[in-house]
Amino acid sequence: MNAFISTSFHIFIILGIVNSEQEPDGPLFPSQVEVSVWYSHFNLWYIFCNGVLIALNKVVAPANCLKYHLPKDVRVSLGKVNKTHQQIIYVSRVDKHEDFQWYEWPNDIAIVTLSTPAKLDKNVQVAKLAVNSSIYVETSCMTYGWSGSRVEQVSKTLLSKNECIERSYKDLQYPLSSGLIICVLNRKGDNSAPCMGNLGTPLLCGPNKDTLVGIAKMMGVYCKAGQPSLYTDVTRYRAWILQRM
Ligand SMILES: *[C@@H]1O[C@H](CO)[C@@H](O)[C@H](O)[C@H]1NC(C)=O
Ligand SMILES: *[C@@H]1O[C@H](CO)[C@@H](O)[C@H](O)[C@H]1NC(C)=O
């Protein structure tokens, strides 16, 4: 696992980067997307964050991941089984949220338009967009993240806004109280995987765990047992997303 440390004002964050030698046996979720950016200095594509496929040619990803990259320097990988068995698709357009800010990262969402549509198969499927995250409060959702050197799928409970604020980081009040961020917690106290996990990994809820409710925002060094992981509430951007489909 490669990681880099970024300072976002008073918040110190470790961004987990999916660039491991160990590949899982197919994606954990078929809507899972790896977002890579081109580093001309090193002459390589670097897997930079995660996203989720929401239409044949649209991916939702965090804005902070794509802030400094031109669309031609971004590509995605879908349905990755191994380095040779995956769909790599180049990006034609990136719409970052106009009100994304580095301070506390509000509105950390972007729509990535693919240059050619994804081909659906058992490893590549489109996630549904949830209508309202409050429907899923106190239900079990799935997400994934790094645990040591491997990616793990984990079950988390979506918390109510009040519990999210109560249990969360005291210095991150604005995005929490605005309700633009949702929190998840493993009530059994196992915080390992997505806590140190990857930016942009989806929170998938509903009976079939195929409905997108959030994308992972920041985790990392704040992660302690009993503290929730934070996700951008994608349902709060539903109209914004639909306008760009
Ligand atoms: C990658 O996965 C495909 C599909 O499972 C398999 O046919 C192929 O042998 C694998 N390639 C490598 C290099 O492991
Ligand atoms: C979601 O549902 C809750 C509870 O019914 C409601 O208060 C809230 O306004 C809804 N949110 C959106 C974005 O529609």
Which ligand is located closest to the Cα atom of residue 82? 1
The C-alpha atoms of residue 197 and residue 61 are separated, in whole angstroms, by 15
Residue 70 token pair:
């031109």
The reported pLDDT for the residue numbered 176 is 67
> What integer is the mean pLDDT of 95-107?
86
Check pLDDT > 90 for residue 212.
yes
Q: What is the pLDDT of residues 119-153, one digit of tens each?
A: 999 999 999 999 999 999 999 999 887 666 677 78
Question: What is the 178 CA–ligand 2 centroid distance (Å)?
Answer: 13
> What integer is the mean pLDDT of 165-193?
73
The answer, yes or no, to whether any atom of ligand 2 lies below 6 A from the CB of 180, is no
Contact 202, 184 (CB under 8 A): no
The C-alpha atoms of residue 175 and residue 186 are separated, in whole angstroms, by 21
**Residues 6 or more apart whose Cβ sits within 8 Å of residue 222:** 11, 169
Check pLDDT > 90 for residue 208.
yes
The answer, yes or no, to whether any atom of ligand 2 lies below 6 A from the CB of 134, is yes
Higher pLDDT, 137 or 7: 137
Tell me whether residue 202 is exposed, middle or buried, using C-beta atoms within 10 angstroms of its C-beta: 0 to 12, 13 to 18, 19 or more.
buried
pTM of this structure: 0.86
The answer, yes or no, to whether any atom of ligand 2 lies below 6 A from the CB of 132, is yes
Check pLDDT > 60 for residue 15.
no
Q: What is the mean pLDDT of the chain?
A: 82
The C-alpha atoms of residue 217 and residue 223 are separated, in whole angstroms, by 13
Tell the residue number behind the tokens 């409710």, with chain if given. 213
Which ligand is located closest to the Cα atom of residue 132? 2
Check pLDDT > 50 for residue 181.
yes
- Mean pLDDT lowest among 79-83, 156-160, 196-200, 217-221: 217-221
3-state secondary structure the chain: CEEEEEEECCEEEEEEECCCCCCCCCCCCCCEEEEEEEECCCCEEEEEEEEEEEECCEEEECHHHHCCCCHHHEEEEECCCCCCCCEEEEEEEEEECCCCCCCCCCCCCEEEEECCCCCCECCECCCEECCCHHHHCCCEEEEEEEECCEEEEEEEEECCHHHHHHHCCCCCHHHHHCCCEEEEECCCCCCHHHHCCECCCEEEECCCCCEEEEEECCCHHHCCCCCCEEEEEHHHHHHHHHHCC
Which ligand is located closest to the Cα atom of residue 233? 2
Question: What is the 107 CA–ligand 1 centroid distance (Å)?
Answer: 38
Ligand 1 atom at minimal distance to the Cα of residue 82: 1
Tell me whether residue 144 is exposed, middle or buried, using C-beta atoms within 10 angstroms of its C-beta: 0 to 12, 13 to 18, 19 or more.
buried
Ligand 2 atom at minimal distance to the Cα of residue 133: 1
The reported pLDDT for the residue numbered 194 is 55
Residue 3's pLDDT band, with cuts at 50, 70 and 90, is very low
Residue 1's pLDDT band, with cuts at 50, 70 and 90, is very low
Residue 229's pLDDT band, with cuts at 50, 70 and 90, is confident
Contact 91, 75 (CB under 8 A): yes
